Amino acid sequence: MGALDGQVAVITGASSGIGAATARLFAAEGARLALLDVNPVPGDLLGLGEVTTHVTDVTDAAAVERAMAEVAERHGRIDVLVSSAGILDRVPFLEMSPERFDHIIAVDLRGVFLAARYAAPYMVEAGRGRIINIASQLGIKGGAGLAHYVAAKAGVIGLTKALALELAPMGVLVNAIAPGPIETPLIGGRPEEWKREKAAELPLGRFGRPEEVAPTALLLASSPGGDIYVGQTLGPNSGDVMP
Ligand SMILES: NC(=O)c1ccc[n+]([C@@H]2O[C@H](COP(=O)([O-])OP(=O)(O)OC[C@H]3O[C@@H](n4cnc5c(N)ncnc54)[C@H](O)[C@@H]3O)[C@@H](O)[C@H]2O)c1
């Protein structure tokens, strides 16, 4: 028996990093997967049992609505949504154009809103569901050169609390995960020296791996493990932030 046997899980940003690791773990726990990403899904994920893929840009409201409807039609329901699609960009605030700010907000905050907005009705109809938003610890601690990203991620934490309050009475539990630095392509391009210095600052002395974040998503998605989490932000972060 897997923890998610027969459940239908939609994962955005499933083609890479935390989303892909979550897809692998959820499939191993018996979930049927609907993988949403703007980029193609890697071949190994396609073999994870009953999987559908939906090439979707999370900033496109009509496309997200369509993708959720396709999932519900194909799989019959949506039990779990993990919103992991995200991008990171660094630019000093005094050089940050409004367009660059808007773009990060569109993907990292509005994309999370859209996925929840169009998945939640299926959960409410069923009287049960789990929404797990991948925020970032930077939304709690801030970060220089990251005003747009930090604002988006703090927004995801706030959005999570608002949705949690509104949807819990309807049986839908909404929570966030705020990872610390995780070894994925998102930060893969950073200089080695930055990575060494950053890792040395962490109480654990190292970055996390996507496979070490996925179990937190599983906890929140599963029962009884996730049954009394409402509006929380969990922090798999190597000890960097202790709220
Ligand atoms: N890696 C870290 O250190 C770290 C730390 C904290 C939070 N996060 C967050 O975790 C989430 C996953 O990041 P990751 O590290 O796995 O990065 P990643 O780059 O490995 O994966 C991100 C995925 O999102 C997809 N994506 C990007 N824009 C999209 C769009 N408009 N529509 C649909 N899909 C889109 C990408 O194609 C990619 O597959 C992000 O929200 C990120 O902000 C990452």
- Are residues 177 and 135 in contact, defined by beta-carbon separation less than 8 angstroms? yes
| Ordered DSSP codes for 100-135 | HHHHHHIIIIIHHHHHHHHHHHHHHHHT-EEEEEE-
- Residue 238 Cβ inside 6 Å of ligand 1? The answer reads no
Residue bearing tokens 């929380």: 232
Predicted local confidence at residue 1, as pLDDT = 84
Nearest CA residue ID for atom 23, ligand 1? 13
Predicted local confidence at residue 28, as pLDDT = 96
CA-only gyration radius of the chain, Å: 17
- Residue 105 Cβ inside 6 Å of ligand 1? The answer reads no
Which domains occur in the chain, in start order?
Answer: 8-233 (3.40.50.720)
Predicted local confidence at residue 197, as pLDDT = 95
- Name the residue of 10, 12, 16, 240 whose CB sits within 8 Å of the most ligand 1 atoms, as the mutation to test its pocket: 16
Predicted local confidence at residue 189, as pLDDT = 87
List the chain pLDDT tens, one digit each, 243 residues.
899 999 999 999 999 999 999 999 999 999 999 999 999 999 999 998 899 999 999 999 999 999 999 999 999 999 999 999 999 999 999 999 999 999 999 999 999 999 999 999 999 999 999 999 999 999 999 999 999 999 999 999 999 999 999 999 999 999 999 999 999 999 988 999 999 999 999 999 999 999 999 999 999 999 999 999 999 999 999 999 998
**Ligand 1 centroid vs 169 CA: distance in angstroms?**
30
**Ligand 1 centroid vs 135 CA: distance in angstroms?**
10
- Are residues 14 and 45 in contact, defined by beta-carbon separation less than 8 angstroms? yes
- Residue 159 Cβ inside 6 Å of ligand 1? The answer reads no
- Residue 217 Cβ inside 6 Å of ligand 1? The answer reads no
Alpha-carbon gap, residue 54 to 206, rounded angstroms: 34
- Residues whose CB falls within 8 Å of the CB of residue 144, separated by 6 or more in sequence, listed in order: 92
- Residues whose CB falls within 8 Å of the CB of residue 40, separated by 6 or more in sequence, listed in order: 15, 53, 55
- Residue 129 Cβ inside 6 Å of ligand 1? The answer reads no
- Are residues 162 and 46 in contact, defined by beta-carbon separation less than 8 angstroms? no
**Ligand 1 centroid vs 225 CA: distance in angstroms?**
25
Nearest CA residue ID for atom 26, ligand 1? 85
Alpha-carbon gap, residue 228 to 130, rounded angstroms: 11
149 given a catalytic annotation: yes
**SS3 of residue 80 by DSSP:** strand
Q: Tell me if the pTM is above 0.75.
A: yes
